[in-house]
Structure 1
Amino acid sequence: MSGQDYVEVQGLTVDFDGFKANSEVDVTFLQGRIHFLIGPNGAGKTTLVDALTGLVQGTGYARYGNKDLLSLKSHQISRAGVGRTFQTATVFEELTVLQNLDIAGGVHRRAWGMVRARKGIPAYVQEAMETVGLADLRDRPAGILAHGQKQWLEIGMLLVQDAKVMFLDETVAGMSHEEREETGELLRRIAPDRTIVVIEHDMEFVRKYADVVTVLHAGKVLAEGTVAEIQANPQVQEVYLGRSTEGATHE
């Protein structure tokens, strides 16, 4: 593997005035695998992603390529090819699907190109629309998209930015069963060339689409493995899944 094929986190600690939201977290996210982060509320899942994307300060080491993500600002991390989504989709609701993707793809163009009229749709924008299933809705304002479609648009915005590492925060929360299925298949389509990390509570979704699962508890890694290994782990059953390994779809 090259350094661009994975994100290696060693000893990551996030300390908020004496409260350690993450403590000595070691985890490696590999390209080509859909890697889920699960755990009870307050386990440190989002804080871990916040640290790796420059939103909070962490100590330790997080290697991606020849860079330590913990030493970079958020805009530098984005330029390095690391992107994220949030629990609530952050799209420009008054703009169309096409306009959202075109703006997000501005990383491909110099500043003068942003204001210069361009003919046609850039190939990478068209490809992203087709990949996330929104090509037929290109001229629809993002604000009137269905909930799931907004999440797909946000993933599309990462695609046009050529993000090779994607951190997705509770992407399927609030989605219908059909939307969850389509989202899972979307992740499978884009995963081979990318490192995909998903924070998730929906255990049915995790069981169906996870290649690797990391369980966080009280800011630390409790367990890691396949879905079957995680479900069979007594510690995980006790602190997260409950007495039944079937668990619930939400905490």
Structure 2
Amino acid sequence: MTGLEIRGLRVSFDGFVAVDGVDLTVAPGDIRFLIGPNGAGKTTLVDAVTGLVKATGSVRFGDHELLGRPVHRIARLGVGRTFQTSSVFEGLTVLQNLDIAAGAGRGAWTMARRRRTVPVAVSEALETIGLAGRQDALAGTLAHGHKQWLEIGMLLVQNVDLLLLDEPVAGMSHEERDATGALLAAISAARTVVVIEHDMDFMRSFARTVTVLHAGRVLSEGTVAQVQADPRVQEVYLGTGGVA
């Protein structure tokens, strides 16, 4: 497994500093939650890591410096992300979505045909995300939570080593949220996971470490208990009433 190391990361847009000198180290196999109020710089930080916005500083994943690389080259280094809005192909089946993501080399005209065999990586991903029994269902018919799982599966079949997930449980039921937490725990056995999240109950249940961002800077960092006890977090992010 490989960790993520960010040093002095800075992103500005026309003079507005969205990320202001962030240092962040995510250990291999961690489930790191990034939390903070709207405008804290969470999504912009992930955009910088994945090459979607220009940034200065350093972002290293293993032996590779990511800053300055185009998006597709960063992806080839094993970095994958999801967005707040699902990007699955709703008119194709679950299996076909995973097939495309895996780069199995099937032409577009063959996607409508049922394949005779399923690649091992795709089969394993179906089991991991809990959709093996729905591989022939159209992605557009899946429940919201299942679409999120499919999108995670599409990263798994690409052999992604670092998953960056933007609010993966937004709009989910309580049961789907718990199942997603269990999925992240399973995935982290062989990968590093970073989660942008606003759901504090989900964070308390499944985060291993937490980084709180505020105004583009790191406000607090540590275990869930340490962050909850930090008066700066209680005052700036969650209000003076605390995070209990």
Q: TM-score range by the shorter chain?
A: over 0.9
Alignment of structure 1 residues 107-146 onto 2, 5 Å:
109=104, 113-115=105-107, 119-146=116-143
- Equivalent AA in structure 2 for residue 187 of structure 1: L
- C-alpha separation in 2, matches of 1:192 and 1:156: 15
Alignment of 1:221-232 (within 5 A): 221-232=218-229
Structure 1: gaps (5+ residues): none
**3-state SS in 1 of match to 2:18:** strand
1:74 counterpart = 2:66:
no
How do 1:1-251 residues align onto structure 2 when only pairs under 5 Å count?
A: 5-106=2-103, 109=104, 113-115=105-107, 119-246=116-243
Q: Which amino acid aligns with 2:20?
A: S
Unaligned stretches of 5+ residues in structure 2:
none
Counterparts of 2:145 and 2:138, CA distance in 1: 14
What is the count of residue pairs matched by the alignment? 239
2-structure distance, mates of 1:161, 1:130: 16
Distance 1:235 1:48 in 2: 21
TM-score, length basis structure 2: 0.95
Deviations 1:90-123 (A, max 9, x none): 00000000000000000xx5xxx33397640000
Shift of 1:66: 1.9
* Cα distance in 2, alignment partners of residues 149 and 46 from structure 1: 23
Q: CA RMSD in A?
A: 1.3
What is the deviation of 1:243?
Answer: 2.0
Q: Secondary structure in 1 aligned to 2:219?
A: strand
Deviations 1:184-220 (A, max 9, x none): 0000001021110000000000001010000000001
Amino acid at match of 2:9: L
Give distance in 2, aligned partners of 1:34 and 1:215.
14
Instruction: Give me the whole-angstrom Cα distance separating, in 2, the residues matched to 1:104 and 1:199.
Output: 23
Cα distance in 1 for partners of 2:97, 2:238 equals 38
Q: Distance in 2 between matches of 1:138 and 1:114?
A: 17
CA distance in 2, matches of 1:195, 1:58: 22
Q: What is the distance in 2 between the residues matched to 1:207 and 1:64?
A: 27
- Say whether the 8 Å CA contact 2:234–2:243 is kept in structure 1: no
Deviation at 1:88, TM superposition (A): 0.9
- Secondary structure of 2:100 counterpart: helix
Contact 2:235/2:242 (<8 A) preserved: no
Percent sequence identity over aligned pairs? 62
**Is the 8 Å Cα contact of residues 132 and 186 (structure 1) preserved in structure 2?**
yes
With normalisation by structure 1, the TM-score equals 0.93
| 1:86 counterpart SS class | coil
